[in-house]
Chains A and B, each alone.
Chain A
Amino acid sequence: MGRTIVEKIFSSHIGGDVHAGDVVMAPVDRVMIHDITGPLAIEKFHEMGAIKVFAKDRVVMLFDHQVPADSIPAATNQKNMRKFALEQGILNYDIREGVCHQVLVEKGFARPGEIIIGADSHTCMYGACGSFATGIGSTDMGFALKFGALYFRVPETIKIQGEGKFPDRVTPKDLILSIIGEIGADGATYKAVEFTGVAFSDMDMSGRMTCCNMAIEMGAKSGIVPPDSTTWRYIKERKPDIKEFSLSSDDDGIFCNSIEFDVSTLEPKVAVPHNVDNVVPVSKVAGTPVDQVFIGSCTNGRFEDFREAIEVLGNNSFSDKVRVIIIPSSKEEYLKTLRAGYIEKFVLAGALVEAPCCGPCMGGAFGLLAPGETSLSTSNRNFKGRQGSTEAMVYLCSASTAAASAIKGEITDPREI
């Protein structure tokens, strides 16, 4: 009986032949904790009677949601986590590197065939590197820190086949928004989503990260792109010693559903308030005035996104009716963007450029919205209250659409600039 890529990853970790539906206790290759879910995970770890983490070189800690600390309780949480990292001898990037998911991936901590868990729902992003990665809560994390393993129900897989070439100014973000719109916010609950086909094999790592990142927005446990030469090149730039191997679903592997998308006919898309699956073509909401535009987050805060925004910006300025907030997702992305001269262009065009962190996406640190305000954001969630007031409206889009709209002061199709 053929197996999917996810079934193969679990089988190799268990040392048996496992299939979708099996409940297994599987060893994990790496775990990630950050400043929001970490304190509780550490508390649970201690409550479970644990003293030492299962393997200190397999734990990565960093702070990204509320940095630099924006309140005394946040500062205290971070202080306690620092102490834990020192006692345990685990790697703590503290506030230096940026948003957790971007940092894990770009430091080479997510590799093909691995099982990685993070105490954050968008951990599924590491599937861009061919890992099985999933978000968990703090008690599960306490358990994993103690035992180096966790129970999983091996998920069925939905196959998303992407065909064709992207038209100008239509991006992987528009594709994943369309997919979520079609599958629905709970259409992939408990399942894995495998992204295949030429649209994905042609896609750069940044685009693959955007798509895998948002797998959770259709309820999925993980998103995964089968590793190919693009994946291995990216990994080897970071971990030169790693040995290449092949990993993909068998032809006779069983998928619970298979859906095809032709990207060549795709338009720029927007998710309108207050659910990520309320997806419409940008033309449908064009002209809606916006108060704030945010380009950043683990979904679309990479160099490639800023390059897109700069191409749209050209010699224009941002509208002075709009607060434009730009936040690279990591130090590495920040430096690439800086060296390309984009930061200066953004600042001169009227944007506020912040140091790497979650920013307004987190809805607590800064950049909050007042009642009645509208924000356009390249992040991944438009839930009521996600970026401040529950009476504010958050729309989600690509960096191109965000830039075009920031120029006009209203939601704008990037193909019209």
Chain B
Amino acid sequence: MRVWKFGDNIDTDAIIPGRFLIYNDPKELALHAFEGTRDEFAKKVSPGDIIVGGKNFGCGSSREHAPLAIIGSGVKYVIAESFARIFYRNSINTGLLPLVCTDASTIPDGAQLQLQLENNRFIVEGNNYRTEPVPDFLRTISEAGGLVPYARKLERVI
């Protein structure tokens, strides 16, 4: 799994610029993921690659097109030092798993990363990293495959 490394405060306009929000299909959005910020990403990303960010990943707008553009690229996990709130929720809801790792900034771009989800760990070039466990309630949603499959089974919630 190749690492695509990004810095701090990667905002939703960087992930998917406003002019592409007319599209709702993850595959279509993926063609423009990080356009203008990192043009090689959309061309070279392979399914299974992992995005690693710094602080406040996904800050900015509530556009769910941001996690969808990432999912459409075949990326299933984003690891970052911290996430912006709406992006974090949107990711869990749409099936992209956001993992918090306080040492994420030390991971180099292009490295190979092996994820061991079951024990909140991953390995990069022989070094061990820990991720913070996903909060219980969100894990339920995540394990259901996102908020849509979770909600389909429910008649009422209050």
Contacts and interface: CB of A to CB of B under 8 A. Distances in A.
B7 to A, nearest CB: 11
Contacts of A185: 9, 56, 59
Given A73-B23, A384-B37, A49 B152 contact: yes
A84 interface: no
Interface string B143-158: 0001110011010111
Given A40-B64, A190-B85, A363 B23 contact: no
Contact of A37 (B60, B64, B146, B147): B64
A73 B148 contact: no
B86 A121 contact: yes
Given A146-B151, A384-B37, A138 B64 contact: yes
Nearest to B11: A383
B37 A385 contact: yes
Contacts of A119: 62
B142 interface: no
Nearest to B136: A23
Given A139-B94, A385-B36, A363 B86 contact: no
Given A137-B90, A139-B147, A363-B13, A37 B63 contact: yes
A384 B65 CA distance: 17
B56 A219 contact: yes
Interface in B45-87: 55-56, 59-65, 82, 84-86
Contacts of A385: 13-14, 17, 36-37
Q: Is the interface of B mostly helix, strand, loop or mixed?
A: loop
Nearest to B61: A121
Interface string A104-120: 00000000000000011
A148 B151 CA distance: 13
A411 B56 CA distance: 30
A318 interface: no
B154 A363 contact: no
- Chain A interface extent, by class: 35 or more
A140 interface: yes
A121 B87 CA distance: 10
B18 interface: yes
Interface in A180-196: 185-186, 189-190
B23 A364 contact: no
Interface residues of B, number: 42
B131 interface: no
A207 B126 CA distance: 54
A381 interface: yes
A275 interface: yes
A289 interface: no
B116 interface: no
A147 interface: yes
Contact of B22 (A77, A137, A383): A77
B13 A383 contact: yes
A125 interface: no
A232 to B, nearest CB: 29
Interface in B104-156: 135, 137, 146-148, 151-152, 154, 156
A120 B62 CA distance: 5
B96 to A, nearest CB: 11
A147 B17 CA distance: 31
A136 interface: yes
Interface in A1-33: 23, 25-27
A364 B36 CA distance: 14
Contacts of A136: 62, 86, 89
Contact of B158 (A77, A121, A149, A384): A149
A70 to B, nearest CB: 9
A173 interface: no
A121 B62 contact: yes
B19 interface: yes
Nearest to B23: A73
Given A364-B19, A386-B13, A137 B64 contact: yes
A139 B148 contact: yes
Contacts of B21: 36, 65, 364
B90 A384 contact: no
A126 interface: no
A389 B89 CA distance: 29
B62 A66 contact: no
Given A47-B148, A147-B154, A186 B19 contact: no
Interface string A379-401: 00101111001100000000000
A328 interface: no
A82 interface: no
Nearest to A71: B22
Given A149-B157, A362-B18, A386-B13, A189 B61 contact: no
B82 A73 contact: no
Contact of B84 (A48, A49, A139, A189): A189
8 contacts: A23-B135, A25-B157, A37-B62, A48-B147, A48-B151, A121-B86, A135-B86, A153-B135
Given A137-B89, A147-B154, A219-B56, 20 more contacts: A23-B137, A36-B63, A37-B63, A48-B147, A49-B151, A135-B62, A137-B86, A139-B93, A139-B94, A139-B148, A147-B158, A149-B158, A186-B56, A363-B13, A364-B21, A364-B22, A383-B60, A385-B13, A386-B18, A390-B17
